[in-house]
Chains A and B, each alone.
Chain A
């Protein structure tokens, strides 16, 4: 349950980021170089933590870490949610089709899943994010990068959902109520959408929740490698990447690290809790 509360809290933080920053921080991209010791590049007094800067300021340029974490939550959660949604839509559809129809359709889709799972995703995303132009598909700048990240992450993680849905469908297909529906003359689409999908909602929901933290980590990894969101827009992975250069300045690495850690842990706990709650066979 704690996981659920934290998840809700994080979503609220992301939604109300501008308001929170207005109340407790300063704009995330503004420099405060008056707070930096020019000789060491470190914030004066070690961290620069103060009433104005709750988590201190970044070394070298003095940006407010608190507001960058808050704004970074927007990027992380937005990308993770939408990428998960995309992979759920593709994965659930293809999974249920494969499981229901079987035969050559199943073979085709299953092999496609194998191919996608074997794909060197990280290498591919680095290459793709590196060559993408500044504007394409009517989008530009950050919006394009976000869309691209959602596409890359979502499009390549659908087989995880797809396999589970296919397996569930295979066992559902042999159940009596499906036979009953079929013998009453129901056709494929009806059976899939009206009879099967309602029974698949629980596992899909659970695995989607568990896929979100994976996607958050993946986005962080891409940003860390410099192929995610472009500076100066804040993202947790990007902050970690910059913090690595100043590893002796602890707070710069600590706060984005904790943000990723807490978010991933919360979603995992939430997903586990959801599975226990929705699985009638499971016993705590």
Chain B
């Protein structure tokens, strides 16, 4: 259920206009107007940089890889959810504004937020009048229903999120509208009239609005649906539509004349076109952003190590970057199933001995890597509280004395040997494993590095309880980012022992605390938001007390701000620039 990021490739964001010109102060030819246009570090982090209402121009973007799918029903990348709002409108979306409000939901195709009834088991949404597809037909609630139903067909759309089929009360054995043609699905979704859509859930879920904000609710006209091939030409409901689309190579969005500003509360639709290039070398993207040939690296995951030194080392370049924090934890699991980690004191020895600064450096340092985490919940998750149970010495490089004490209490005063696994394709995880090998080695815990292919990392190796035990994978380098920023999304897949499958496949390998499972159930059922948020914090603390997770770092990325563009700001929901409001200055 995790939204994917390109962790291996750290991409970038945004362009800086000819920096040499900026550096020598020679040219003021770019007459960028608007307020707050002083280029400084983090200038677009919490406020709009270079505000403007000027229309026209083309925004140029590049992607070091490729989309999983351009089809809103299937795509599962955060950057894609951010970007697709240019050509698709779901029921709700994250508010395209700077600052913490960017984390809040706002109605898009729907007129308002969902109305729960039946104790949270039924959710009703009203759809705006006058929204049209690019061919001029009006969008009805049936198009939304059809879009949601087709997205549940995981044979046709294997990579999409699976929340709807999990929550909706679909008929037994329902396989989507292609294979289960004509099956009555009114038990799951009803459309009393063209403007109303009602979702019927299996059990109460207070946070259903987050599900309704999935791009899978973007309407799809049944007559134009081509199944798995729909991604070649998505029928637009937003201000832009596909002009060309060469899969795996490039595509271009141009204005959709059927889109009506009056039906849209927040889209500015300033530029005339968006040009996107795919499968561009990541280092090449950095260089082109810096030279001004490109505006934005669409994946928004930050500069490559090669460009990092150049950008950070030059004050003029650094002033054109932003450094958002992501709701993503790069941590290491400490597996109690592997001796001697069955003893809590041996697990604590790892927490004490680990060099937190070294771990941070492995992921790229405080700017490009992240900030040191002391517990599981990242700070931007509502309810997160500071939990710091284990001292790490004065300079955060590990507390050898405490670690030795813990080792003695564990009955292994001279240390022991165990293994640490990481994903072979990820140099940062390798560096993290080497860092732990170094710092734990100082107190006598000898680690052997075990790289595994990332494709099978959780299914065959580090996420497979049997394999972990028989191969003594005491430590597992791990990472987690939520689909949206709340405690349920962040915690449920990594601290609930019931998600551990004996056949493998779960990100959770080490947290098996019955008390935490009970606490989670209580928190999910809690309807009072404040109480629920306090419950997430309590769970966080309880997990840390058991020392089954070394929290590592909360990710940050260093993204290059596009100097040529206006209305640049970081969306807190996506932790990258908001792609809806940009214009060409």
Residue numbers of A with Cβ under 8 A of B are: 29-31, 33, 36-42, 59-61, 130, 134, 141, 226, 230-232, 242, 245-249
Contact = CB atoms under 8 A, between A and B. Distances in A.
B309 A60 contact: no
Interface stretch (B235-243, B300-308, B509-517): B300-308
Contacts, number: 78
B434 interface: yes
Given A39-B365, A231-B449, A232-B449, A33 B358 contact: yes
B499 interface: no
Interface of B: 283, 304-310, 312-313, 355, 357-358, 360-362, 364-368, 424, 427, 430-431, 433-435, 437-438, 448-451, 453, 471
Contacts of A41: 305, 308-309, 361, 364-365, 368
A33 B306 contact: no
Nearest to B422: A231
B435 A242 contact: no
Nearest to B358: A33
A61 B435 contact: yes
A247 B358 contact: no
B306 A36 contact: no
Given A38-B366, A226-B451, A249 B361 contact: no
B364 to A, nearest CB: 6
A170 B234 CA distance: 70
Nearest to B437: A232
B472 to A, nearest CB: 9
Contacts of A130: 453
The 9 closest A-B pairs by CB, nearest first: A40-B309, A38-B365, A42-B309, A248-B306, A40-B312, A31-B438, A39-B312, A247-B306, A39-B367
B449 A230 contact: yes
Contact of B309 (A31, A134, A249): A249
A41 B310 CA distance: 11
Which interface residue of A39, A141, A226, A245 has the most chain B CB atoms within 10 A?
A39
A141 B447 CA distance: 12
B516 to A, nearest CB: 33
A226 B427 CA distance: 11
Given A38-B361, A61-B361, A226-B424, 10 more contacts: A31-B358, A39-B365, A39-B368, A40-B309, A41-B309, A42-B309, A59-B305, A61-B434, A231-B434, A246-B306
Contacts of A246: 305-306
A151 to B, nearest CB: 21
Nearest to B283: A247
B435 A31 contact: yes
Contacts of A230: 449, 451
A60 B359 CA distance: 10
Contacts of A59: 305
B314 to A, nearest CB: 10
Given A40-B309, A248-B310, A242 B427 contact: yes
Contacts of A36: 361
Contacts of A226: 424, 451
Contact of A245 (B355, B427, B449): B427
Contact of A232 (B355, B366, B434, B450): B434
Contacts of B357: 33, 38
B361 A245 contact: no
B514 to A, nearest CB: 33
Contacts of B309: 37, 40-42, 248-249
B305 A245 contact: yes
A249 B305 CA distance: 10
A231 B427 CA distance: 11
A247 B304 CA distance: 10
12 contacts: A33-B357, A38-B360, A39-B367, A40-B312, A41-B305, A59-B305, A60-B431, A61-B434, A230-B451, A231-B433, A231-B449, A247-B306
A248 B449 contact: no
Contacts of A242: 427
A54 B423 CA distance: 32
A240 to B, nearest CB: 13
A40 B449 contact: no
B357 to A, nearest CB: 7
Contacts of B358: 31, 33, 61
A40 to B, nearest CB: 4
A40 B365 contact: yes
